[in-house]
Structure 1
Amino acid sequence: MTDIFQYRFDGVVHIHLNRPEKKNALSQQMYRELTLALQQAATDDSINVVLLQGTKDCFSAGNDLHDFLGAGALNAEHPTVQFLYELAQFPKPIIAAVAGLAIGIGTTALLHCDLVYAADNARFQLPFTQLGLCPEAGSSVLLPSVVGYQRAAQYLLLGESFTAADALQMGLVNQVVAMDALTELAVQKAIKLAALPAAAVQTSKALLKRTTQQITLESITAELQQFQRLLNSDESQQRIAAFFQR
């Protein structure tokens, strides 16, 4: 049974994370499937928009740490690394529909999405320092550019959680609705966007990202190097071990 489902309609591919027993924590197999889904969507002329969504209680609780720790060095062959670079360079619009928990990569991935809609039960957190780690997915450059340095420092250094209302006020999400209305809203926006001239939309996205994409890719590379260094440290290993014992 797969933990990721895809539905295609009206120029949209709707990708669902569906591992509720693990709060949609991303395994290496899920990263492989997500990367492949993005690669296929990028080259499929019948697809103009990607819509990414979790379950009603959880968008994603971040990495499946057991699986992640067993996947080896963070190099070009690592499924997580491949996904990050694919996401950062994806040429077509990505819409995210976020309900429930969005932790770690569940939040940093949103920084690469073009439109983000959240349910009022959404809760975000970037607990990297609490595990003795550092930001990833280009968030060290993307989050300050979206919410400002002080707020980025609050959430990346202290690892404090924040609500959907906070995310809306900061500009991290476009709109907050009741949980039962989230899918309908996101689907409507995806269909509307997919119906527009694809070349015009993709060119506009490329122009919007032209000044940030290279620095984002460089940031992902730098973050991965530091993430690996910290991950190998005794302090991080102790904090991760304590996390598993909770």
Structure 2
Amino acid sequence: MTGEAPSATAAGRPPAEETDIDPVVLVRRDAGVVVVELNRPSRKNGLTGELVEALIDEVHAVAQNPADRVLVLTGAGDAFCSGMDLGAPVKPDELTFMRRVAALCTAIYNLPKPTIAKVNGPAVGFGANFALCCDLVLASENAVFAEVFTERGLSVDGGGSWLLPRLVGMAKAKEILFFGQRIEAAEAQRLGLVNRTVPLSELDGLCRDWAVRLADGPPRAISTIKGLLNNAASSTFVQAIEAEAVAQSLSFRSKEVREGMAAFAERRRPNFR
């Protein structure tokens, strides 16, 4: 790196990079579904400091807006995310930058609303693990998940060291990361990295269907289930059962349960909107 690095803010956030080109993130909202699209197609949506900060802002906005019920992450052009843009400067320093990347992944993983990664093309390095931070992963048949860190002499990031062993087992995770493996979409689905794989022409429709179904569902119940599942990996069975008991006792008192029970009695679809 050359030149004087800009100072970080008091919160530890580096200042955003100035740009006079198209926004690095495109956002669309429709009926509770928020689509956040990485918009650097000429760089295969490679990650920069500016993109990290824009994504963090959008995730926090979704978390705080009751009208936003589902988050979909995808990439512009023919790639999901090519990982870190190694041609871009790392500001203000490597550790601060990587901690902001970690903050982004944590915000996605802990978002109290369901998230879907719509992987329309290559998801490389960070991009692969970024997709796995989402609750659900839908991929086109031409997608590939490339954990190529060791080919660049890099360590793993994007939460891969935590996510991969839980998805595919420790031995397989080590094989994938040690050898920098590229996993085609069909194999990714077989391994449990992907929920569904479809032709590219069908990906938008499938993602829209899943997102609308989630948006029509009971937001409190889905959020509670997500929290229980996310915490299960670090809980004992006894702790998980107790957490379920507390969560369910609170659910019994919710408007969602009253609507669900009324719909059941009246033999109609519940309206959780």
- Superposed pair shares fold, TM > 0.5: yes
Question: What is the alpha-carbon root mean square deviation over aligned residues?
Answer: 1.8
Superposition map of 1:60-99 within 5 A? 60-67=81-88, 69-75=90-96, 79-99=100-120
Match of 2:186 in 1: 165
Is this contact kept in 1: 2:26–2:36, CA < 8 A? yes
One-letter code aligned to 1:168 = Q
2:168 to 144, 147, 156: 147
Count residues in correspondence. 214
By relative contact order (CA 8 Å, sep 6+), the higher-ranking structure is: 1
Distance 1:80 1:213, change over 3 A: farther
Render the CA deviation track for 1:55-74: whole Å, top value 9, x for unaligned: 35200101111325344132
Match of 1:199 in 2: 220
Match of 1:210 in 2: 231
Please state whether the residue corresponding to 2:72 is helix, strand or coil. strand
Larger Rg: 2
Match of 1:107 in 2: 128
Shift of 1:204: 0.7
Please state whether the residue corresponding to 1:8 is helix, strand or coil. strand
Distance 1:56 1:185, change over 3 A: farther
Distance 1:213 1:101, change over 3 A: farther
The question of 1:123 aligning with 2:144 is answered: yes
Distance 1:202 1:57, change over 3 A: same
1:45 to 47, 56, 66: 66
Shift of 1:6: 0.4
Equivalent-residue separation in structure 2 for 1:43 and 1:77 (angstroms): 25
Please state whether the residue corresponding to 1:180 is helix, strand or coil. helix
Equivalent-residue separation in structure 1 for 2:91 and 2:47 (angstroms): 13
Match of 2:51 in 1: 30
Shift of 1:167: 0.4
Please state whether the residue corresponding to 2:88 is helix, strand or coil. helix
One-letter code aligned to 1:122 = A
Is this contact kept in 2: 1:28–1:71, CA < 8 A? no
Shift of 1:213: 6.9
One-letter code aligned to 1:30 = L
More helix by share: 1
Structure 1: runs of 5+ lacking an equivalent? 215-246
One-letter code aligned to 1:166 = E
